[in-house]
Amino acid sequence: MAAPPSWNREKDPFVELIGSDAITRRVAELGAAITADYKALGAGEDVVVLGVLKGSVIFLADLVRYIELPLAMDFIGVASYGDATVSSGVVQITQDLTKPIEHKHVLLVEDIVDTGHTVHYLLENLGTRKPASLKLCSLLHKPDRSERAVHIDYLGFTIPNKFVVGYGLDVAQRYRNLPYIGYVNQP
């Protein structure tokens, strides 16, 4: 187990849920599995790893270095309507891809599947753009919150129903750069 990080919130410090060593080990395993599957598929140079902004950025940056293929990277920005705690299920694309994905093998990379609305919408939307294949890789999944059945092809960790932060995930845009995943300790 890695030493606890040297910085945290002074008030209501986050409780470590998944340490950075465990994250690194799991990301390496996911990268190896993805490499093997896409090689078997004969995907060649047509793999596009597609990150959902901004939460997936840290995960994606680590993951792609464990995928041994000449892949391309692109990003998509989304916003969900409604307040932060109650998902409305309505998703809007705020920033679209820079290139078409027709005939590409697309791997959508998300930080967390919570209710499932965001990835459900994105998979439907991306599917209409005629990719050669479309798969989902999510670092985290909170099954207790599921409102939409979503198949996660590559999953890092299943977690309990807690609001998590770090390794890309934010609280009001802060703390994405914590090197571990922690949760907000609610009384």
Q: How far is the CB of 110 from ligand 5GP (least distance, A)?
A: 6
**Does residue number 16 form part of the binding site for ligand 5GP (CB under 6 A)?**
no
Choose, from 46, 62, 111, 114, the residue flagged as catalytic.
114
Instruction: Please spell the DSSP secondary structure of 7-70, one letter per residue.
Output: ---SSSPPEEEE-HHHHHHHHHHHHHHHHHHHHHTT-TT-EEEEEEETTTHHHHHHHGGG--S-
**E strand or H helix that includes residue 179:** none
Q: Which stretch binds ligand 5GP (CB under 6 A): 7-15, 34-42, 128-136, 159-167?
A: 159-167
**Does residue number 182 form part of the binding site for ligand 5GP (CB under 6 A)?**
no
DSSP 145: G
Considering Cα of 124, then 153, then 96, then 118, what sign does the dihedral take? positive
Q: Considering the complex, state which of residue 19 and residue 55 has its C-beta at the smaller distance from ligand 5GP.
A: 55
Q: Considering the complex, state which of residue 38 and residue 183 has its C-beta at the smaller distance from ligand 5GP.
A: 183
Q: Which residues contact 121 (CB under 8 A, 6 or more apart)?
A: 78, 91
Among 117, 134, 135, 137, which residue sits at the site for ligand 5GP (rule: CB under 6 A)?
Answer: 117
Q: Considering the complex, state which of residue 98 and residue 161 has its C-beta at the smaller distance from ligand 5GP.
A: 161
**Is 114 designated active site?**
yes
Q: Considering the complex, state which of residue 112 and residue 134 has its C-beta at the smaller distance from ligand 5GP.
A: 112
**Does residue number 58 form part of the binding site for ligand 5GP (CB under 6 A)?**
no
Q: Which residues are catalytic?
A: 114
Residues that bind ligand 5GP (CB under 6 A): 55, 87, 110-118, 163-165, 169-170
